[in-house]
Amino acid sequence: MAFSEFRPLDENSLIEYIKATPSLSSKIVDNYDGLKIKEVGDGNLNFVYIIVGPSGSFVIKQALPYVRLIGESWPMTKERAYFEALALKQHGALCPEHVPEVYHFDRTMSLIGMRYLEPPHIILRNGLIAGIEYPLLAEHMSEYMAKTLFCTSLLYRSTTEHKRAVAEFCGNVELCRLTEQVVFSDPYKVSEYNRWTSPYLDRDAETVREDNLLKIEVAELKSKFCERAQALIHGDLHTNPEFAFYGPMGFDIGAFIGNLILAFFAQDGHAGQGNDRKWILKTIEDTWNLFHQKFTALWDEHKNGSGEADLPAIYNNTELQKLIQEKYMKELFHDTLGFGAAKMIRRIVGVAHVEDFESIKEANIRAHCEQRALELGKTLLKRRREFVSISEVISAMKHVQS
Amino acid sequence: MAFSEFRPLDENSLIEYIKATPSLSSKIVDNYDGLKIKEVGDGNLNFVYIIVGPSGSFVIKQALPYVRLIGESWPMTKERAYFEALALKQHGALCPEHVPEVYHFDRTMSLIGMRYLEPPHIILRNGLIAGIEYPLLAEHMSEYMAKTLFCTSLLYRSTTEHKRAVAEFCGNVELCRLTEQVVFSDPYKVSEYNRWTSPYLDRDAETVREDNLLKIEVAELKSKFCERAQALIHGDLHTNPEFAFYGPMGFDIGAFIGNLILAFFAQDGHAGQGNDRKWILKTIEDTWNLFHQKFTALWDEHKNGSGEADLPAIYNNTELQKLIQEKYMKELFHDTLGFGAAKMIRRIVGVAHVEDFESIKEANIRAHCEQRALELGKTLLKRRREFVSISEVISAMKHVQS
């Protein structure tokens, strides 16, 4: 450990820290000539530095004891870095091909050193905005979600392992509280933090706050988010897993699919670039279908393992095994749509917005895109149980968009 | 603390222990002349002593590191006493009028000293078998359940309090595992521990193990039991709360109502005593209806409190508040019927039976009573969502019984 007590790093003290930390200095072979350090934290919470030297590179992420987007007036435990490192390591062990390696963790400093994905890698959201197609996105994301969610659930784990892990991640309560507030509460009430594309969406935001059916449904999802320890979920499946805890699987799958839907509707604001948005529809469809396929394949493969939920001595015939999988996957599909919709709505009328829409300069065009996304989000949240397959979601998207 | 390390007590060492423990010796005013000690543990797990002296009385309960019913071949952490004492204290603070006071807890010895309810108090189950009517039973039990369940849920508590408590009770994992096995798993598969009134119920037990629909539904309830931290539940609402952890409320309400249903069907085997069973039907109906009334009254009373689930800024009109309560109570009613049914089934074809049936000497009469209870249990488990009110459950009971 480089420092004996917490202090926020800057670019100068960061070098000092690296020099004193073998697991980091070895990554750049102790070569500080021409070392480049860049703060890139465009997120809402943390400071993120990219360190690139002639002989290697890594990323440093430090949590400060408040919400960066809001400032010191919104305190937030820096212990979140501990849960992020823990989740990265556990998810990394389950799916090393799609989780960045953790090189170093310092609990005192709330600091993680991890792999830097060098150019041409860019943040997915920026690629989506630029109209780049990612033919392997559904394949990779479904792989990551199927492996991490299945293997941390009671379909794979014993009750003893599960309860121990649930107890540990209960410690990440402040991040859960933050999600409860910004996803499930604030968008549905008057809150100083809410914002939207005004004046175009003034009436839309008000309509959200007056929609009884919508509020009933979001209460059910919030209760599931708070109470159901189904698997170690990422908790914010577009950035980094400091939100990780034991929660409902649909929250992760929904976060990813909901963000793809937002990207789809934002394309109208980036139309000058002549982007083809069909691949986004295909990616949404493939993501769910591949996830379904991979998840049930893992289930079949491990059905004689130590998982507590589906004991082979009880679920002892093919028909019954099929029935129980169908029931589980149907509920997960509806959870996915509900949580995905809640994430869409909060990105339009809540505190934290997405670059997909923010980067549309003309407010009236941005508002038009947002209104369509909001309309679909409300439909999905209120009527999710009526959707039988992901292709019906695609149809609804096309219908709203046309 | 009387002893520095764990040892199972007997009647002699118990006196030595009491003498060295002021919180116990003071209860009998240090008067050991004519002190009577009686081991009364008729349960499946622990040793229970009643200590009565000329100047006072109390109960000592000690957990041994195995399941008493099975023996040392089924190990079971004695740490369960810690969770029992914790739950007794927490439930006692919320509903002191219906929870026995804890005088003393010794974690090393896994030993609880608590209030002895002197005669004419007897164990409720024995009173039910004897045909005694308890006119206040529904009133008292609904009061206890409404207060303890509401006040340990997110309808009353903040996320911070809730997650801290959930994490602590995750430590009671061995008792949860035991319930998972004996309630949700063993009755639905071949298990060395299962037993039933043979040969009369051989085919019935087999039918339970071959009923796909029943197994699908019990999987859903098991998942809810394992994953949903809704409130601090008693966990075995007929004996003592060593099974306490954060689980679904319906597990407690269902346990109590399910046991009343068993008592109802057992009356045919005790008919010679001319018992009136109508009061049991009324008690079942009153229990749910009074619980519903008390629980929603608490909800209304505390709707501006610190509970996270139902924020007044969102659920801000009477109609909406009514809708959300109706939805919550409907799910809780169906959970109650499902868990109650699972508890009934396991008492007929699983490892631990109830004295209501066991005390019926003639096996063919016992089997007849058990078959009716089993039939109703299966119907409730598979078709619980079709029941709209508790009076429909009463009708179904009468139908099966006639």
Could you report the per-residue pLDDT of B360-377, keeping only the tens digit for each?
Answer: 999 999 999 999 999 999
Look at residue B86 and tell me whether its pLDDT is greater than 80.
yes
Q: What is the pLDDT of residue B328?
A: 94
Could you report the per-residue pLDDT of B326-349, keeping only the tens digit for each?
Answer: 999 999 999 999 999 999 999 999
Whole-number average pLDDT of chain B: 91
Give the C-alpha distances (Å, rounded to integers) separating A365 from A201, A369, A371, A400.
12, 6, 10, 16
Could you report the per-residue pLDDT of B211-242, keeping only the tens digit for each?
Answer: 999 999 999 999 999 999 999 999 988 766 78
CB < 8 Å to A154, chain B: 223, 226-227
At residue A6, the 3 state secondary structure works out as coil
Can you read off the two tokens belonging to residue B179? 């319930």
CA distance B229 to chain A (A): 5
Contact B62, B111 (CB under 8 A): yes
Q: Cβ separation of A314 and B223 shorter than 8 Å?
A: no
Whole-number average pLDDT of chain A: 91
Q: How many CA atoms lie within 13 A of B385 on its CB side?
A: 5
Q: What is the pLDDT of residue B7?
A: 92
Within B229-341, strands assigned E span: 231-233, 245-247
Look at residue B284 and tell me whether its pLDDT is greater than 90.
yes
Residues B257-283: what's their mean pLDDT?
83
B226 CB near a chain A CB, below 8 Å? Answer: yes
Q: Cβ separation of B311 and A189 shorter than 8 Å?
A: yes
Look at residue A208 and tell me whether its pLDDT is greater than 70.
yes
CB < 8 Å to B319, chain A: 212
Residues 377-396 of A with CB under 8 A from B: none
**Would you tell me how many other CB atoms lie within 10 Å of the CB of residue A69?**
13
Q: What is the pLDDT of residue A344?
A: 94
Q: What is the pLDDT of residue B293?
A: 96
Q: What is the DSSP string of A253-280?
A: HHHHHHHHHHHHHHGGGGGGG----HHH
Could you report the per-residue pLDDT of A263-279, keeping only the tens digit for each?
Answer: 999 888 886 655 668 89
Q: What is the pLDDT of residue B71?
A: 82
Q: What whole-number distance in Å separates Cα of residue A42 and Cα of residue A130?
A: 17
A226 CB near a chain B CB, below 8 Å? Answer: yes
Q: What whole-number distance in Å separates Cα of residue A317 and Cα of residue A327?
A: 16
Q: What is the pLDDT of residue A70?
A: 79
Residues A300-328: what's their mean pLDDT?
90
CB < 8 Å to A229, chain B: 227-229
Q: What is the pLDDT of residue A162?
A: 96
DSSP one-letter code for B53 = E
Residues A159-173: what's their mean pLDDT?
95
CB < 8 Å to B216, chain A: 320, 323-324, 327
DSSP one-letter code for B5 = S
Nearest CA in chain A to B230: A227
Could you report the per-residue pLDDT of A16-42, keeping only the tens digit for each?
Answer: 999 999 999 999 999 998 899 999 876
Look at residue A239 and tell me whether its pLDDT is greater than 70.
no
Residues A99-109: what's their mean pLDDT?
96
Q: What is the pLDDT of residue A325?
A: 93
Q: What is the pLDDT of residue A2?
A: 52
CB < 8 Å to B188, chain A: 314
Look at residue A43 and tell me whether its pLDDT is greater than 80.
no
Q: What whole-number distance in Å separates Cα of residue A90 and Cα of residue A74?
A: 29
B329 CB near a chain A CB, below 8 Å? Answer: no
B372 CB near a chain A CB, below 8 Å? Answer: no
Q: Cβ separation of A216 and B170 shorter than 8 Å?
A: no
Look at residue B290 and tell me whether its pLDDT is greater than 50.
yes
Q: Which of B164, B311, B323 sits opposite A212 (nearest CB)?
A: B323
Q: Cβ separation of B170 and A188 shorter than 8 Å?
A: no
Look at residue A1 and tell me whether its pLDDT is greater than 60.
no
**What ipTM was assigned to the predicted interfaces of this complex?**
0.87
Structure confidence at residue B272 as a pLDDT band (50, 70, 90): low
Q: Which of B167, B309, B315 sits opposite A171 (nearest CB)?
A: B167
Q: Cβ separation of A327 and B159 shorter than 8 Å?
A: no
Look at residue B44 and tell me whether its pLDDT is greater than 90.
no
B11 CB near a chain A CB, below 8 Å? Answer: no
Nearest CA in chain B to A323: B216
Could you report the per-residue pLDDT of A121-153, keeping only the tens digit for each?
Answer: 988 888 888 888 899 999 999 999 999 999 999
Q: How many CA atoms lie within 13 A of B149 on its CB side?
A: 27
Can you read off the two tokens belonging to residue A16? 């000092």
Q: What whole-number distance in Å separates Cα of residue B323 and Cα of residue B321?
A: 5
Could you report the per-residue pLDDT of B63-78, keeping only the tens digit for each?
Answer: 999 887 778 888 889 9
Q: What is the pLDDT of residue B43?
A: 64
Tell me which amino acid residue B189 is.
Answer: K
Look at residue B164 and tell me whether its pLDDT is greater than 80.
yes
B152 CB near a chain A CB, below 8 Å? Answer: no
SS (H, E, C) A9-61: CCHHHHHHHHHCCHHHHHHHCCCCCCCEEEECCCCCCCEEEEEEECCEEEEEE
Q: What is the pLDDT of residue B1?
A: 45
**Would you tell me how many other CB atoms lie within 10 Å of the CB of residue A12?**
9
Only one residue has tokens 């990422």, namely A234
CA distance A73 to chain B (A): 19
Domains and CATH numbers, chain B: 11-114 (3.30.200.20), 124-401 (3.90.1200.10)
CB < 8 Å to B229, chain A: 227-229
Q: Cβ separation of A227 and B313 shorter than 8 Å?
A: no
At residue A392, the 3 state secondary structure works out as helix
Residues A322-344: what's their mean pLDDT?
95
Q: What whole-number distance in Å separates Cα of residue B245 and Cα of residue B234?
A: 7
Chain B interface, best mutation among A194, A246, A314, by max B CB count within 10 A: A314
Least confident of A54-58, A280-284, B198-202, B238-242: B238-242
Considering only residues A67 and A95, tell me which one the structure prediction assigns the higher pLDDT.
A95
Q: Which of B159, B189, B219 sits opposite A226 (nearest CB)?
A: B159
Q: What is the pLDDT of residue A316?
A: 86
Q: Cβ separation of B216 and A170 shorter than 8 Å?
A: no
Percent of chain A scoring above 70 in pLDDT: 97
Element (H, E) at A213: helix A212-227
Considering only residues B62 and B273, tell me which one the structure prediction assigns the higher pLDDT.
B62
Q: What is the pLDDT of residue A57?
A: 96
Q: In what order do the strands lie in the sheet with B111-114?
A: B36-39, B47-53, B56-62, B111-114, B102-106
Look at residue A185 and tell me whether its pLDDT is greater than 80.
yes
Element (H, E) at A71: strand A71-75
Q: What whole-number distance in Å separates Cα of residue B314 and Cα of residue A51?
A: 45
B271 CB near a chain A CB, below 8 Å? Answer: no
Could you report the per-residue pLDDT of A308-320, keeping only the tens digit for each?
Answer: 888 888 988 899 9
Nearest CA in chain B to A206: B314
CA distance B188 to chain A (A): 6
Q: Cβ separation of B222 and A189 shorter than 8 Å?
A: no
- Sorted by sequence, the CB contacts under 8 Å of residue B212 that are 6+ apart come out as A317, A319, A320, A323
CB < 8 Å to A180, chain B: 159, 308
CA distance A141 to chain B (A): 25
Q: Cα A19–A20–A25 angle (5° rounding)? A: 45
